[in-house]
């Protein structure tokens, strides 16, 4: 009788984990393909609006879609380790850890990049010139990084190769070359020199016309 009870409990747990895996995966796919599913239920899931912060730092990766991915991952992990006969409490802990990891990976490496690409599609980088920006990918030794301008991300590099920028630094977009923003610290020497160069160029063009 105890064996039968244990067997039934084991099978029920596997069924629950499978349901979580299938339901989470299905809702995540629907949310990605058809948009924010929470809009369809009239805000019943208030707070889980599915709108990711385009900044991946902190908890910006959390959304309705990533939560669904996490539930699916937890279900898959729970089913796998429960099948291996691991004690139930460990199965729950491992399943939860796998779920959180899946949610974070999905948000950080899939959903946020897709949202950025979609959001930046119609953005003209030239409009960022003169605006303040926040560094979201550090830059040093002339290497390129990334900045956030008015909610949109741009590939960027320092005007002066010896400048170093860390994540969170506030800078100013000096000019744009193609799709790359050249940045400097606000009120820096490089910024003032660039303003002089731009002014001289505009005056020269005005004289030619």
> Mean per-residue pLDDT for 152-180?
89
Q: Quick check: 190 and 184 in contact, CB under 8 A?
A: yes
pLDDT tens-digit map of 179-190: 899 999 876 555
Comparing 8 with 9, which gets the higher pLDDT?
Answer: 9
Q: Quick check: 174 and 185 in contact, CB under 8 A?
A: no
User: Which residues touch 38 (CB under 8 Å, ≥6 apart)?
Assistant: 44, 45, 48, 49, 50, 64
Domains of the chain, by residue range, sit at 2-120, 125-208
196 pLDDT above the threshold of 50:
no
pTM above threshold 0.75: no
pLDDT at site 79: 95
Residue matched to tokens 């599915």: 50
CATH class for the domain made up of 125-208: mainly beta
- Kindly report each contact of residues 77-84 with a partner whose C-beta sits within 8 Å and lies 24 or more positions away, as own/partner: 78/13, 78/16, 78/17, 78/20, 79/14, 79/17, 79/18, 79/21, 82/10, 82/13, 82/14, 82/17, 83/14
pLDDT tens-digit map of 114-163: 776 766 555 677 888 889 999 999 998 888 999 988 778 889 999 988 88
> Mean per-residue pLDDT for 50-73?
73
CA dihedral (130, 132, 136, 137) in degrees, to 10, reads 40
Element (H, E) at 170: strand 170-177
Instruction: For residues 50 and 31, give the distance between their C-alpha atoms in angstroms, rounded to a whole number.
Output: 8
Comparing 197 with 179, which gets the higher pLDDT?
Answer: 179
> Mean per-residue pLDDT for 57-76?
86
């Amino acid at each position: 009788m105890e064996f039968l009870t244990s067997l039934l409990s084991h099978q029920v747990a596997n069924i629950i984990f499978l349901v979580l895996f299938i339901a989470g995966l299905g809702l995540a796919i629907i949310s990605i393909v058809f948009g924010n599913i929470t809009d369809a239920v009239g805000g019943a899931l208030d707070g889980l609006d599915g709108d990711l912060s385009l900044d991946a730092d902190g908890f910006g990766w959390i959304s309705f879609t990533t939560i669904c991915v996490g539930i699916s991952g937890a279900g898959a992990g729970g089913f796998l380790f429960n099948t291996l006969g691991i004690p139930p409490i460990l199965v729950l802990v491992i399943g939860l850890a796998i779920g959180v990891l899946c949610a974070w990976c999905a948000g950080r490496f899939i959903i946020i990049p897709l949202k950025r690409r979609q959001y930046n599609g119609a953005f003209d980088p030239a409009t960022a010139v003169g605006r303040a920006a926040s560094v979201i990918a550090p830059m040093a030794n002339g290497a390129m990084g990334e900045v956030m301008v008015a909610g949109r991300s741009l590939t960027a590099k320092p005007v002066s190769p010896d400048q170093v920028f860390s994540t969170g630094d506030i800078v100013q977009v000096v000019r744009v070359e193609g799709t790359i923003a050249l940045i400097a610290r606000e009120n820096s020497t490089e910024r003032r020199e660039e303003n002089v160069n731009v002014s001289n160029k505009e005056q020269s063009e005005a004289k030619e016309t």
